[in-house]
Structure 1
Amino acid sequence: MKKLANVVAFSPNVTRLENDLRSQIANVMAQYPDLSAYGFHFSAGGEWDDLELYKCYRDMMLTSRFADEVLTCIEAIYAPRARWEARAWRLDLGGSYGLKHAVERWVREGNRDDLASYISNGAFIVAAVIEGWVPVRSQRSPNCRFAREGKR
């Protein structure tokens, strides 16, 4: 797992090192039992109806790699992003899938080898929830949009 000491500089909500982040990920998993590394579970036929595969996707949320993805998202959420405004970076306007791609672009454009270069949809959702955003589910989709705490 990458070094976590700098995370405190980005997020007031991640205050301890690795164990605290893992605890927060577990809390989000408990709060949203249908969330996996690839987003929310839904019934649409095909692989999304395979509960064993869904369980594997959910177990991926317990890995160090997933924790690195969540940390990368948290850092991106707090990064200066004047150039991002044109890309509709704001959480309250963007969907989880588009925003996970925005984080991946941010990593590439910043040449940040110390950050996760692949971000799963679920990692962005978990990071947003840790930072106080409420997922607003899309019907028949693993994706969601976000509202600030208390708004839907």
Structure 2
Amino acid sequence: MAQLRQREVSPNYLITLADIEKVMQDEPLLSHNGFGFDDSYPDYFYKLYAYGKSKAEYLQGFKEDRQKLKQALDECQRCCLYLQHLKKIKTVRYNLGSYGLKHSAERYHRALKLFDQSYVSNGALICAAIHMGFKVIRQDEDSPNAWICASLQSDILIWEKMLNRQGNLLPSAERRLIERVTRNIGLSLEPEAS
């Protein structure tokens, strides 16, 4: 992280376009928005679960979203930088969903200030998690989201939980915890100059 913050090393080593394509080959229903549907359902299914789109409209949009994920290298890079701070576990906790972690990754990158853009898609987060070896389980057959098997005791999750609790009025043990996890995830403890 220190090297990345000094911009001495490119973050390109975390994931490549070839890695994204490999994940997509292994996960044919993964797109920029997350998991989608295949073409085996009757038309009424797409009208019900794809915001009123016909089967043909949905499948065309899904194809475009797959292409968009293939080109989302920067988003996947940012997701990998975030995910490296999560501890992998083998069991599902049913509280670390891809969509929530996507927003957490965006908050982390706004705080990190390493990139001009902090946005990441749900599909980029899932793709990066699969690439990095996390156990990923689709939440439901009709959901674009996935459960990511990671520990709630990961420093980055503790940092986010304590974000709004910072201040001098906190007990010293909590202040030390905030300082430790903030350093561990590569963020500065120094206040910003105005």
**TM-score normalised to structure 2 length:** 0.56
Q: How much is the aligned-residue C-alpha RMSD, in angstroms?
A: 2.5
Segments of 5+ residues of structure 2 without an aligned counterpart are 1-7, 38-45, 151-194
Quote the residue 1:72 is aligned against.
78
**What is the aligned length?**
124
1:52 matched to 2:60? The reply is yes
Quote the residue 2:34 is aligned against.
39
Would the alpha carbon gap of residues 146 and 48 (structure 1) be closer, same or farther in structure 2, given more than 3 Å must change? farther
Would the alpha carbon gap of residues 68 and 48 (structure 1) be closer, same or farther in structure 2, given more than 3 Å must change? farther
Percent sequence identity is: 31
Aligned-residue offset at 1:115: 5.5
Partner Cα distance (1:75, 1:106) in 2: 10
CA displacement 1:104-132 (0-9 Å, x = unmatched): 000112223x2641100000001101100
Partner Cα distance (1:45, 1:75) in 2: 32
Indicate the larger mover: 123-132 or 70-79: 70-79
CA contact (8 A) 2:11 2:77 kept: no
Structure 1 or 2: larger strand share? Answer: 1
Partner Cα distance (1:40, 1:48) in 2: 18
* Amino acid aligned to 1:24: D
Max Rg structure = 2
1:138 matched to 2:139? The reply is yes
- Partner SS, residue 135 of structure 2: strand
* Amino acid aligned to 2:50: G
CA displacement 1:50-104 (0-9 Å, x = unmatched): 11011110110121xx10000011111224xxxxxxxxx6665411000010000
* Amino acid aligned to 1:39: G
Aligned-residue offset at 1:30: 0.5
Would the alpha carbon gap of residues 143 and 90 (structure 1) be closer, same or farther in structure 2, given more than 3 Å must change? farther
Quote the residue 1:26 is aligned against.
21
Partner Cα distance (1:101, 1:128) in 2: 14
CA contact (8 A) 1:135 1:147 kept: yes
CA displacement 1:10-61 (0-9 Å, x = unmatched): x5xx5xxxxxx11110100000001000000045132495110111101101
Would the alpha carbon gap of residues 5 and 126 (structure 1) be closer, same or farther in structure 2, given more than 3 Å must change? same
Comparing both chains, which one has the higher relative contact order based on Cα–Cα distances under 8 Å and sequence gaps of 6 or more?
A: 1
Moved beyond 4 Å, runs of 4+: 89-93
CA contact (8 A) 1:7 1:75 kept: no
**TM-score normalised to structure 1 length:** 0.71
Partner Cα distance (1:34, 1:52) in 2: 13
Quote the residue 2:103 is aligned against.
101
